[in-house]
Chain A
Amino acid sequence: SYELTQPPSVSVSPGQTARITCSADAFPRQYVYWYQQKAGQAPVLVIYQDTGRPSGIPERFSGSSSGTTVTLTINGVLAEDEADYYCQSADNSGSWVFGGGTKLTV
């Protein structure tokens, strides 16, 4: 089955740049979507189709891709960005999968 691999944790100081990777185990791959989830809340979409930023999401959030690895970058990290981040994608059979999640500590 299709798998997405994320680092369990990333730690940065306020104002620094956080990079969270999501590696797919197959190529070519489908688009990747990124979600932010704060404690006790439903997830929020922060990046769609690898690089798109939904309206209302701050410009400090961006996405990039290279081969089978997709990266969520948060520039000028704020304390409020501390959360769990999940990537999601689909395989060619119609099924979807989430990465294991990355805890961002600021």
Chain B
Amino acid sequence: QVQLVESGGGVVQPGRSLRLSCAASGFTFSVFGMQWVRQAPGKGLEWVAVIWYDGSKKYYGDSVKGRFTISRDENTLYLQMNSLRAEDTAVYYCARVVHCNDGGCFVHGLDVWGQGTTVTVSS
């Protein structure tokens, strides 16, 4: 079945780095644009980053720009997080957002989500 599974979360000290992974299965990953979304404890959803289906375009939220990098390979989405801060503590979700084919791209919204992986930044 269509599935996204995040991994790589954990406890890390401020200033250190962490890389999250999101393994896709059950669908053709290469035709979907993907997003990372996070949710701090007790807070709302915050958009983190988006990557185009072919990796040609990447955009970031203001709070992570210059510190986080989104990337992808054949069936996995990544989020490299550097210079981590306490305020980056959150559950991180990956989700697919746009389907592209020869006829163009259709933004269908975040229709498939992973279960989330927890990142805690603390000394």
> Known contacts A35-B45, A48-B109, A98-B45; can you find 20 more A-B pairs with CB under 8 A?
A31-B107, A42-B113, A42-B114, A42-B115, A43-B37, A43-B110, A44-B113, A45-B111, A47-B109, A49-B107, A54-B111, A86-B44, A88-B110, A94-B59, A95-B61, A96-B47, A98-B44, A98-B47, A99-B44, A101-B44
The B45-76 residues at the A interface (CB cut-off 8 A) are 45-47, 50, 57, 59-62
B35 in contact (CB, < 8 A) = yes
Closest residue to A47 on the B side, CB-wise? B109
Name A1's closest neighbour in chain B (CB-CB).
Answer: B62
Over the window 41-83 of chain A, the binary record of Cβ atoms lying under 8 Å from chain B Cβ atoms (1 yes, 0 no) is 0111101110000100000000000000000000000000000
Give how many B residues have a beta carbon under 8 Å from the other chain's beta carbons. 22
Name 10 interchain pairs, CB-CB below 8 A, sorted by A: A37-B45, A42-B114, A43-B37, A43-B45, A43-B110, A47-B109, A54-B111, A84-B44, A95-B59, A98-B46
State A31–B44 Cα separation when bound (angstroms): 20
Interface set, chain B 73-123, CB cutoff 8 A to A: 93, 107-111, 113-116
Which residue in chain A gives the minimum CB-CB distance to B98? A90
Quick check: A97 and B50 within 8 Å, CB to CB?
no
Assess A43 versus B113: contact at CB under 8 Å? Given A93-B59, A94-B50, A101-B44. Answer: yes
- Pairwise interchain contact B35-A96, C-beta atoms closer than 8 A: yes
Query: For the complex, what is the distance from the CA of A104 to the CA of B72, rounded to whole Å?
Result: 36
Q: Which residues of A contact B109 (CB under 8 A)?
A: 33, 45, 47-49, 54, 88
Cβ of B108: which chain A residues have Cβ within 8 Å of it?
45, 48-49, 54
Q: Check if B50 sits within 8 Å of A96, measured CB to CB.
A: yes
A35–B114 Cα distance when bound, in Å, is: 14
In this complex, what residue of A is CB-closest to B45?
A98
- Find chain A residues with CB under 8 A from B114 CB: 42
A14 in the interface (beta carbon within 8 A): no
Bound Cα distance A31, B107 (Å): 9
